[in-house]
Amino acid sequence: MNGKAAKDTRSEDGMPPARAGLLTRMRVVLINTTHPGNIGAAARAMKVMGLTSLHLVTPKIFPHADATARASGADDILQHATVHDSLNSALDGCGLVLGTSARLRSLPMPLLGAREAALRSVAEAEKHEVALLFGRERMGLTNEEMQCCHFLVNIPANPEYSSLNLGQAVQILSYELRMAALGAEPASVPLPDQEPVDGAQMERFFEHLEETLRDIGFLNPAQPKRLMMRLRRLFNRARPDQNEINILRGILTSAQEQTEKPE
């Protein structure tokens, strides 16, 4: 000891800097947002809870004065927002993808509550970035976008009036993320044995898989999406690592080469 008290670098709410750093690894991804004011409201909700990474996929209008006005001082979040022309691009580098939406009716998907999703996100943020997807104001995420997710996230609400606007949904989940990061000990959440590949790599794999299944005549042309939905659920649940995805892609390439050989 040098006789000087160690400087307490915790925030006023008691969060250690290392845990606060985990929040910077959470991407809030807004997809095809119609009203720029909602982007600003989301930015304000994020900044209040210590989140900094905003990603916008094909927003209708951005930047815009309404976004700045609704951000109410969270202009830096807007200025550093990344705009993407595809969801695949927004998922690059994210090992865990969560979608805020209702359960798929035609094919059930793994579903987490908001608090459980936050605990898992904080636990996995030690290893890789986490993406939290929010869909359009009127219709939310499409089925195809939900199929990019490892889990769907449910916000329990009054069943007689369960409508949340975009800013409110971002605020609730941002709050849960901050509360999870404030926990004295990391959450006891079962994590993947190996580092899974990111969302962008998974999307390239699924494209390769569908192409190969068409080439070998396995995919039913009358209902191609039904089978792909089930396969997406299977592989998203498995969360393959880099070696595993390389093996799978190699198998697909070999199968395609066999179909191209002349008889």
Contacts of 76 (CB under 8 A, 6+ apart): 47
Q: What pLDDT was estimated at residue 5?
A: 46
* Alpha carbons 42 and 112: distance in angstroms, whole number: 21
Name 12's Cβ contacts closer than 8 Å, sequence gap at least 6.
Answer: none
Q: What is the pLDDT of residue 105?
A: 59
What is the Cα Rg of the chain in Å? 20
Give residues with Cβ within 8 angstroms of 87, minimum separation 6. 29, 31, 57, 133, 145, 148, 203
DSSP category for residue 33: -
Q: What pLDDT is recorded for position 15? A: 82
Task: Show pLDDT as tens, one digit a residue, over the chain (263 residues).
Answer: 454 444 556 666 678 787 889 999 999 999 999 999 999 999 999 999 999 999 999 999 999 999 999 999 999 999 999 999 999 999 999 999 999 986 555 668 889 999 999 999 999 999 999 999 999 999 899 989 999 999 999 888 888 887 789 999 999 999 999 999 998 555 567 777 789 999 999 999 999 999 999 999 998 877 778 899 999 999 999 999 999 999 999 999 999 999 876 66
Partnered with residue 140 across adjacent β-strands are: 136
CA–CA distance, 137 with 148 (Å, rounded to integer): 19
pLDDT at 262: 63
Domains and CATH numbers, the chain: 17-182 (3.40.1280.10), 199-260 (1.10.8.590)
Render pLDDT for 41-71 as a digit per residue (tens, 0 to 9).
999 999 999 999 999 999 999 999 999 999 9
pLDDT digits (tens, 9 = 90+) for 171-184: 999 999 999 999 85
- What is the reported pLDDT for 1? 44
